Amino acid sequence: MEEKKPIVLNKLQDAGKRYITLNMAFLLLLFFARLYEYFYLNKHITLPNNSFYLISSGYYYDIIYCFRFATVFLIPYILVYFIFKPLAYILYSAFITLFIILEFALIQYFASTSLILGADLYGYSFDEIIHIASASGSLSFFSLLPAIFGIAITVGILYLSKFIKPHIYIFYTFLVAMLITIIFLNPQPEAKKFQKEMEYNLVSNKASHFISASYSYFFSATDISEDALKTNFYSISDTTNFEFKYINENYPFLHKDETPDMLGQYFNIGENKPNIVFIIVESLGRAYSGEGAYMKSFTPFIDSLENKSLYWENTLSTAGRTFEALPSVLASLPFGKNGFAELGNQMPDFISIISLLKKNNYYTRFFCGADSKFDNIQLFLSKQKIDEIVDEKSFGNKYKKMPSMSNGFTWGYGDKELFEKGIENLYQNNKKPRLDIFLTLTMHDPYIILQQEYYNKKAEAKFSEYYFDENTKKEYRKYLPNYASILYFDDAIKKFFSDYKKHEDFNNTIFIITGDHRMSSPPISTQIDRFHVPLIIYSQMLKKAKKFSSVVSHLNITPSIISFLKKNYNMYFPTVVPWIGKGLDSVATFRNTNSLPFIRTKSEMIDYLENKYYIVNDQIFEISDGLGLVQINDDINLSKLHKKFEQFKLKNKKTYENNKLIPDSLKVK
């Protein structure tokens, strides 16, 4: 027995030395990944001036992650090593290789979207993931070349590591470092240390972030106390003295509808009910649309329309992607678990402007150029008994789809075709008035459009019109397809209005135009920038145009439209509603009287706004005119807002788990 101890000890030391060499190789691979990240991103996207420093400093967190990674796998590695030495090497090398491949892939994803991928991936079905990947072109051979290159480097370095024989004291030093790291150091940077989201994203290890977010999604549950419901989440004291009066604790959002009619004063009211047209524009962000757009405006027609409309320049969407646009704009709904419509057949019973106007003899239709099954749009609309859905399957041979990717994928029909189809179908029913809802598509990754070269040249002309210098033009050209698609949309909606004007009831139609969210690229400037969109209410019935700087959101639109129709056209609507937003604010100067939750992606509900404060995780900001953000240190208000946000999350959870949004008396039949 005495002789076996040295053999076991020697084998343990050999295992330790071999383990060290593999982790040293891992550290070297992470270093190469950082170099690749800098040069690849610098070529494809606009980076801040200190990008090299940020990406380089991120290697500090890579080192910490490597030590944590090594700590987790140490015991399993040694156990396998004692059973079959080659298998231990193969398995651990495979883990490292997969991590590096994932890092290369996520760097490419970041270059395409300016976002780091997290658990939002799990909010989509497998078919939808393939759909999105196909649209981005990430399944092509050339897009896989960096990953292939990364595999080759990884395999080579791991193989060469076999010939390194470190001293046993290095193993002990490594063990101490592992212990210190896992006890004292965090492998993820703290977001509050960075002024801009882009800076945080550059420092973060993309694979580490994805793994951490995935772990939290599947294994971390947030328990919210039922006591949180005792506080009235939407009890807001402001200059309008607006306060929801909740009427039933079993239905957390149900309240008396006392939304004031702020729109009526701006309209000439006729005898006939007006047509209502919603145009929800894919990726129409304020960053590149409207007066004062910080990236300059690329929507000349929309800009001209703003000057003839009721226009809110500080409007916020509720989500960073399209999945929540219809529930928020059309029904002022809470978010469910991964987005309201993502609940599928488990969506709580709800009401919307669709079902409410149907009861008032409106003919209701939805138009989009894509497959309406995506994001459960078709199911959401069907639950409101919409009269007609015109989507990709309805266009026929008369219309031409957007150009396909090299893999043959296309989202469907572009905005010009969409609006032309809408005009064609406008009078195919004899029922009046109408509710028509358009969801556009063109301003979506991969931004491939018909007449691509024409609109590329048009974008170049805009760069010159704004007197960009050559360096600025170089940066803007990195997103040339994006700007071309914006100009394409602007021409499409201009023609739509031109065609609509030829019909007599144009003079009795109210158009509501907003973006579903801002494009993720070019890079987002602040945390709230992704939600910043325009809101335009245009009609020939308007007495005058007016611009409002007060903050409003998608959640405010339907309550105000319903209140306007109820007061001015004697329509019947329920006296109690589940809206989570109040009416539009009609103050011309900048202010925010809203308490607004956001669902950034299908798995991230981390943003919340109340009055002048905006929080994201453990960061708190003050908002200013134009929705600028200044980070502040205010633990008292940070804690207060977190509690309010948790109250909303609890109400939201209770609603979708128990189908407690509206009582039977309000259900759509």
Q: How confident is the model over 311-321, as pLDDT tens digits? A: 999 999 999 99
Quick one: pLDDT at residue 155?
A: 64
Residue 635 lies inside a defined structural domain of this protein: yes
Residue 225 lies inside a defined structural domain of this protein: no
Q: Do 476 and 391 share a structural domain?
A: yes
Q: Do 461 and 374 share a structural domain?
A: yes
Q: Where are the alpha helices (DSSP H) in 287-425?
A: 300-306, 325-331, 353-358, 377-382, 415-425
Which stretch, 181-195, 293-307, 513-527, has highest mean pLDDT?
293-307
Q: List the single range of 72-86, 103-117, 285-299, 395-409 with lowest mean pLDDT.
A: 395-409
Q: Where are the alpha helices (DSSP H) in 114-205?
A: 126-136, 141-160, 168-184, 197-203
Q: What is the CA radius of gyration of the chain?
A: 28
Residue 63 has pLDDT above 70, yes or no: yes
Q: What is the mean pLDDT of residues 643-648?
A: 92
Which helix (DSSP H) or strand (DSSP E) does residue 630 occupy? Answer: strand 628-632
Residue 621 has pLDDT above 60, yes or no: yes
End of a domain among 219, 252, 281? Answer: 219
Residue 428 has pLDDT above 90, yes or no: no
Q: Are 627 and 529 in contact (CB under 8 A)?
A: yes
End of a domain among 219, 247, 281? Answer: 219
Residue 224 lies inside a defined structural domain of this protein: no
Quick one: pLDDT at residue 343?
A: 93
Angle CA 365–370–375, to nearest 5: 85
3-state secondary structure of 36: helix
Residue 122 lies inside a defined structural domain of this protein: yes
Quick one: pLDDT at residue 603?
A: 85
Residue 295 has pLDDT above 90, yes or no: yes
Residue 644 lies inside a defined structural domain of this protein: yes
Tell me which of 185 and 46 has the higher pLDDT.
46
Residue 71 has pLDDT above 50, yes or no: yes
Q: How confident is the model at residue 144 (pLDDT cuts 50, 70, 90)?
A: low
Which stretch, 147-156, 174-183, 284-293, has highest mean pLDDT?
284-293
Residue 170 has pLDDT above 90, yes or no: no
Quick one: pLDDT at residue 8?
A: 67
Q: Do 521 and 456 share a structural domain?
A: yes
Quick one: pLDDT at residue 81?
A: 85
Residue 436 has pLDDT above 60, yes or no: yes
How crowded is the C-beta side of 324, counted as CA atoms within 13 Å? 31
Residues 270-282 pLDDT 10s: 899 999 999 999 9
Alpha-carbon distance of 331 to 338, in angstroms, equals 17
Percent of the chain surpassing pLDDT 70: 87
Q: Are 88 and 81 in contact (CB under 8 A)?
A: yes
Q: How confident is the model at residue 575 (pLDDT cuts 50, 70, 90)?
A: very high
Quick one: pLDDT at residue 193?
A: 82
Quick one: pLDDT at residue 168?
A: 62
Alpha-carbon distance of 501 to 12, in angstroms, equals 83
Alpha-carbon distance of 667 to 662, in angstroms, equals 7
Q: How confident is the model at residue 151 (pLDDT cuts 50, 70, 90)?
A: low
Cα dihedral 639/640/644/647 (nearest 10):
60
Q: List the single range of 91-100, 179-188, 373-382 with lowest mean pLDDT.
A: 179-188
Quick one: pLDDT at residue 433?
A: 92
Domain count, the chain: 2
Tell me which of 304 and 160 has the higher pLDDT.
304
Q: Do 200 and 123 share a structural domain?
A: yes
Q: What is the mean pLDDT of residues 182-206?
A: 83
Alpha-carbon distance of 362 to 357, in angstroms, equals 5
- Beta-bridged to residue 434, according to DSSP, are 363
Q: For residue 205, count other CB atoms closer than 10 A to its CB.
A: 28
Residues 196-207 pLDDT 10s: 888 989 999 999
Residue 146 has pLDDT above 80, yes or no: no
Residues 98-108 pLDDT 10s: 898 889 889 98
Q: What is the mean pLDDT of residues 287-305?
A: 96
Q: For residue 665, count other CB atoms closer than 10 A to its CB.
A: 7
Q: How confident is the model at residue 157 (pLDDT cuts 50, 70, 90)?
A: low
Residue 327 has pLDDT above 80, yes or no: yes
Q: Do 580 and 437 share a structural domain?
A: yes
Q: How confident is the model at residue 432 (pLDDT cuts 50, 70, 90)?
A: confident
Quick one: pLDDT at residue 2?
A: 46
End of a domain among 161, 189, 219? Answer: 219
Q: Do 199 and 76 share a structural domain?
A: yes
Which stretch, 112-121, 141-150, 217-226, 341-350, has highest mean pLDDT?
341-350
Quick one: pLDDT at residue 237?
A: 33
3-state secondary structure of 247: coil
Q: Do 139 and 63 share a structural domain?
A: yes
Residue 238 has pLDDT above 60, yes or no: no
Q: Are 186 and 64 in contact (CB under 8 A)?
A: yes
Residue 226 has pLDDT above 80, yes or no: no
Q: Using DSSP bridges, classify how beta strands 628-632 and 310-316 pair: parallel, antiparallel or unpaired.
A: unpaired
Residue 239 has pLDDT above 60, yes or no: no
Q: Which domain holds residue 243?
A: 237-526+535-666
- What's the pTM? 0.87
Q: Do 321 and 249 share a structural domain?
A: yes
Q: What is the mean pLDDT of residues 549-571?
A: 96
Residue 355 lies inside a defined structural domain of this protein: yes
Q: What is the mean pLDDT of residues 168-182?
A: 72
For CA atoms 99, 104, 107, 108, give the dihedral sign: negative
CATH of the domain at 465: 3.40.720.10
Q: Do 152 and 182 share a structural domain?
A: yes
Alpha-carbon distance of 415 to 496, in angstroms, equals 10
Quick one: pLDDT at residue 85?
A: 82
Mean pLDDT of the chain: 87
Q: Do 212 and 263 share a structural domain?
A: no
Q: Do 564 and 505 share a structural domain?
A: yes
Q: Cis link prior to 523 (omega < 30° from 0)? A: no
Quick one: pLDDT at residue 234?
A: 42
Q: Do 317 and 191 share a structural domain?
A: no
Alpha-carbon distance of 613 to 80, in angstroms, equals 53
3-state secondary structure of 334: coil
Residues 1-35 pLDDT 10s: 444 446 767 777 777 778 888 888 888 889 989 99
Residue 176 has pLDDT above 70, yes or no: yes
Residue 444 lies inside a defined structural domain of this protein: yes
